[in-house]
Structure formats: C-alpha cells, structure tokens
Amino acid sequence: MELNAVHLLLLLGLSCGCPPGQNTADEELATNLSKSMQMIFAQTCEAHDMSVFISTSYKSQLPRGERRLVERVLTHCLGAMVPRVLGERLEESVGLRTQMLLFFVPDARQFIAASNRNPRMNMAHKYKYLIVLMAGRADAAWQRAQMSQIFGYLLHQRYNVHVLLLLAELRAGRVSSYTYYPYSGARGCEDTQALPVPLQQARLYQIYPQKLHNLHGCPLHVVVWQIRPYMRLHMERTRPSDRISGIDADILKVLASRLNFSLALVANEPADLIGGVSYMNGTMTGAFHMLQQRRANLTLGFAACMPARYKHLSSTLPYSQVEYVLVLRTARPYSVYEIMLFPFDSRVWLLVLALAALRLLCWESGWRRVALLDLAWILAVFMLRMCYESSVFMFLYNAPTRPLPDSLEQALVQDYQFITDHATYRMTASLPALRARTRILPGQPVDMLEQLQAQPEWQRVATISTASFVADYLGGQRTKHHRLVLASNKIVDNMICVHFPMGSYLTSNFNHMLFLMRSSGIGPHIVNRLKSSHLATSMSARLNPLKHCADYVAQFNECMRFIYAALNCLLFAHSLALVIFLLELFSGHERMRWLSRILERL
C-alpha cells in the first residue's frame, strides 16, 4: 500500500512536469511579480486614473507553465480599482481612453509581433509601456540583448521612451525593473542599453522618469529652407548654428540651448521648395514627406499648422499667429487740374448753370440795370469763389489720394488682381473668390513686394502678405517706405507650428518649452524684434538731414505745380478774353454784321 502511494506521487510529479525546486521558484516569482504589479497598479494607474490594456498574446506565445503563472499573477492584480481591457488588439475607440499597455512576452521577437498588432499612440499622448519579460534562460548576456532589442524597437519604430520592463527570471524567481535613457552624456545618443531602475514606491515619476529634459548635446536633424525673414540660410559658414538666421532660427536656437541639443541641418528636397504640400489622404511633398520617411527629427520655418499635418505627423500647438493682409501700392495722386475741378460735382454744376440762366433771364427781361440784382449777382459769385477756394484748400490740406480698398471684399468690387508666391497661394487656396484673380509668380513671399512695385501704374494689382514680410522688405528699401499700404482688415490667420514624424517622443517636450517661451514673452519678443529694428531704421532715416532736404524739395515742387496750373488757367482766361476782343473788333467790319448781332445778343 505504501509502494502504491509512492508511485502515485511520482506519477503526479511527472504529470506536472516540474521538479520541486522549480515549483518553489515559480511560487517565489509569482509572489514577487504580483507584488510589483500590484504596487504599480495602485500607486500609478489608480492614483492617476490610468486605464490599462492587457495583451492576451501571451496565451499563444508562452508555454503552458508560464501561461498559468501569468494568469495567477493577473488574478491577484486585477482586484485593484483600475479600468482594464483584455485582448490581442486594442480597438481605436477604446484606445482613446487607454494610457498603459501591458505585455507578457518570452523574448524580443514575440514582443515586436504582439506590439505590431496595436496602434502607435492615442490622440492625446503616447502610451506608457509595461513589459514583463519571462526570461526562461539564466544567461545575463542573452537577457540584456533581448532587453536592448526591445528598447531599440520602441525607440526607432514606436518613438516611445516611456517604458518600464520587468525582468522575470523563471529559474531564480527574481523580478528586476529596467528602462533605457536614449540621450545621456556617458553612453552617447540613441542608446538602448538596459539600465536598472528601482521601483521604490512605484509612483509615476519614479517608474517613468523624465528622459528628454536634457539631450546632452546630441544632434537633431532639422529640415530647413529659405524663407525670409523667418529662416535665412548661410550654408557657406562652418558652425551649424551660424548657418541659419531669422525669427524661427532664433526660436530654434533658444530651444537647442534649453534642451541642450546640437543642430544637424538638412536641406529641403528640392532645395528651392518652401516647406511642402500636405493632403488629407497622407500625400506630402518636401520637408513633410521627409518627416513621413523619418529622415529627420523635426522641421520649422513658417510652417503652418494644418489638419493634414496633424493627422499624419506630430505637431506642437501654435507658437505664433500671423495675419495675412492686402498689401497695395500707394494710390496715384490726383492731377492738378483734377484737384482744381474736384469741387465741381454735379450739384455745383447745376447751381452754376441755374445762376447763369437766371442772369440771362434778368438781362432779357430788362432788369440788367437794377442795382439790387447786380449786387446779388456779385455776392453770389463771391460766395462761390470763397467756397471753391476753401474746398480746394481743405482738399490739399488732407493730402488727397485716390481711395484704396480696405478689405478683400472692397478689392474684389474694385476689380483688383492679385499676385502671390506658391506658399502664400496654398494658404489662400480655401478662398474661391481669389482663384480666378490670382497669378502665381516664382520667388519668395518677400519678392512679391518687389514684383508689386514693378507692375504698371495703371493696373489695379495687390499682393497678399504679412507685416513681417513687409518689414523685412522695407528694411532694405529705405527710399520706398511710402510706396506700400497695408489694409487694416485681415484676410486669414496663419498658425505656425513645429512638425515632427508621426508619434515622435520629442513633441511634448518641445510643446512645453514653446509654451514657456510664449508665457515668458521670449517668443513674442523674437517675433517683434524685426518690426522694432525697422522702426529704428525709419527713425534714423527721418532724422537724416539729406532726408529733410529731399522732403523740402518735394514740397517745393508740389507748390510749383499748383502755381504753374494757376498760371495756365490765367493764360487760358486771357486767351479767351483776347479772342472775344478780336471777335468784337472784327464785328465792326461791314462784312461781319452777323457777328456783331451775335455778340449783341450774347
């Protein structure tokens, strides 16, 4: 009877397939793993209302004994008040409410296979990874190689640095926690070496520490292109920081100083393309296509925030807002004779004709010798002369110019045509009223202002630009400050963002740093510095004595124009009087009696 009992125990042990020492290690591992995960769920997930997705891919990847161990651990841990979803694939509708992904894997290859079934990120922020590596081999080199391979996949394929890996050693029954720091001064850049991290109380900032606040001088590849005054390229210079200048270049240098990274500038493809085009179906060109292919870390340079880029790339919140307005040439001045005839509108002409008709009626009625009527006529002529002179004086005092449109609607009513560059046309393509009247010209947005000046004077032409582009253009054209006019009503707003590849781990850090720059006034100061320098240039030119001489000469010439016009009118009046005198002289001839009768009749 005792022998049968021994045989029964041996059969039970063989059926279990595990020696007694292995059962002890499994119990210890299950206890340690349950304790660690319970602490993580309680101190991190429950404390921060984080939902957890638990991948069930382990059911097909792990052996039967390890699968039972995982189920025992989950049975103990799922009692915490933490929302969780179990499945092989996380649905997008549920993924929007999930913050952590939990995987139980035997090696790096199985983790990559399980991870590829799930989306890369949700709409609000990146997922936090909790990986339990069920290490069946006690080889430390193999374990570190597997962890490094997992971290390399997360860094280069998923762009995620929020990772905690629990190394569960099946034979030793130990549980160790690891993570990786891709940017560190000692180990170089994009390092995926597994480093131990103590769980301590397993709080959020302890198991997912900050890793990107200091990049330790590692280079970031930035796609740049020429667009004055936001980004100027000086590729002939040696230092990367000296190869760019402008508004966005200064912002990039401040970010590089705060986050401690170096610049590796990458030219846009093609090099003369300003930014690129983005479509909602994912088709992109230029710098944004390069980001899609992950050939660079970021791009900026008057790059607009657009829905297509938010959908297929990662972008920061807007760090600057730019208003597009109409830029027109100063109106052509009225000629001297137009000014002299300006008071004579239709009502004035009717009044003059009515008075003349009344005067003729009085003469025909025999009242020409009535002194009271002559006095009234003289007073009426005197009043007309006073009104004429005062109206002309007020017109000249107010610097008369032809009226210009103050908005896009007024410009369309006045039949204006528009010239733009390719980048500006993409911003205004949503306005159908501009398509038929817009002509696209090659060049930078600043070059359109020079093109505007070169248009014929008689054409009604305007361009669409911003105050920064106009300030940069006028900074090099001191003599043309008075030849451009900005309409007060804006056409459209343009939001400027920094763009990254889809799911980039740098987005949140750059977004936070740009927010601090906006809050502290650094960003607006950099943007407004160009306008301030332009005002200083204008003031220095205004204080130049040669400028005063030029203004004096211009005023003198304007006065002489009116003197010449008045002299011409006087000569015309004298010529008319001379003609009348000659007609009266000829009317005394016997053959010109008909002329005498006409003159007497008049």
With 80 as the cut, is the pLDDT of residue 324 above it?
Answer: yes
What CA–CA distance (Å, rounded) separates 456 from 458?
A: 6
Lowest mean per-residue pLDDT among 93-97, 207-211, 232-236? 93-97
- Among the ranges given (202-216, 270-284, 324-338, 506-520), the one the predictor scored with the smallest mean pLDDT: 324-338
Would strands 188-189 and 183-184 be described as parallel, antiparallel, or unpaired?
antiparallel
CA distance 230 to 250: 9
457-487 tens-digit pLDDT: 888 999 999 888 988 888 776 655 567 888 8
Q: Is the pLDDT of residue 19 over 70?
A: no
pLDDT of residue 556: 58
Instruction: Look at 567 and 217; give whichever has higher pLDDT.
Output: 217
Distance CA 140, CA 348 (A): 104
Q: Average pLDDT, stretch 365-388?
A: 72
Q: Cis link prior to 196 (omega < 30° from 0)?
A: no
**pTM score, whole prediction:** 0.77
Task: Please report, in angstroms and rounded to a whole number, the separation of the first and last CA atoms in the chain.
Answer: 159
Q: What is the pLDDT of residue 17?
A: 45
Task: Give percent of the chain with pLDDT exceeding 90.
Answer: 30
Q: For position 370, what pLDDT does the model report?
A: 66
Which one is predicted more confidently, 252 or 15?
252
430 has pLDDT over 90: no
Distance, CA of 277 to CA of 282 (rounded, Å): 10
Q: How confident is the model at residue 537 (pLDDT cuts 50, 70, 90)?
A: very low
What mean pLDDT is reported for the chain?
A: 81
Q: Model confidence at 245, in pLDDT bands (50, 70, 90)? A: very high
Phi and psi angles of residue 292, each rounded to the nearest 5 degrees, phi first: -60, -35
Rounded to whole angstroms, the Cα distance separating 55 from 539 reads 68
Average pLDDT over residues 38-57: 89
H/E run at residue 314: strand 314-315
CA atoms of 474 and 360, how far apart (whole Å): 60
pLDDT confidence tier of residue 602, bands split at 50, 70 and 90: low
Position 272 scores a pLDDT of 86
What is the structure's pLDDT at 157? 87
Q: Are 19 and 182 in contact (CB under 8 A)?
A: no
Name the DSSP letter for residue 494.
E
Pick the closest to residue 139 from 171, 110, 164 (CA basis): 171
Integer Cα distance of 158 and 315 in angstroms: 16
Q: Which long-range contacts (CB under 8 A, 24 or more apart) does 63-72 make?
A: 65/17, 65/18, 65/26, 66/106, 66/134, 66/136, 66/170, 69/26, 69/29, 69/30, 69/33, 69/134, 70/104, 70/132, 70/134, 72/30, 72/34
Q: Is it the case that residue 371 has pLDDT exceeding 90?
A: no
The set of long-range contacts for 61-68, using a CB threshold of 8 Å and a minimum separation of 24, is 61/105, 61/106, 61/110, 61/113, 61/114, 62/104, 62/106, 62/134, 65/17, 65/18, 65/26, 66/106, 66/134, 66/136, 66/170
What distances in angstroms separate CA 106 from CA 66, 76, 91, 123, 145, one per listed residue?
Answer: 9, 21, 24, 30, 13
* pLDDT score at 261: 93
| Interatomic CA distance for residues 499 and 520, integer angstroms | 22
What secondary structure, in 3-state letters, does 539-598 show?
HHHHCCHHHHHHHHHHHHHHHHHHHHHHHHHHHHHHHHHHHHHHHHHHHCCHHHHHHHHH
DSSP output for 352-381 = HHHHHHHHHHHHHTT-TT-HHHHHHHHHHH
pLDDT surpasses 90 at 574? no
Place of tokens 């733009």: 420
Please give the average per-residue pLDDT across 495-505, as a whole number.
Answer: 91
* Omega before residue 229 within 30° of 0, cis: yes
Whether the predicted pLDDT of 217 surpasses 60: yes
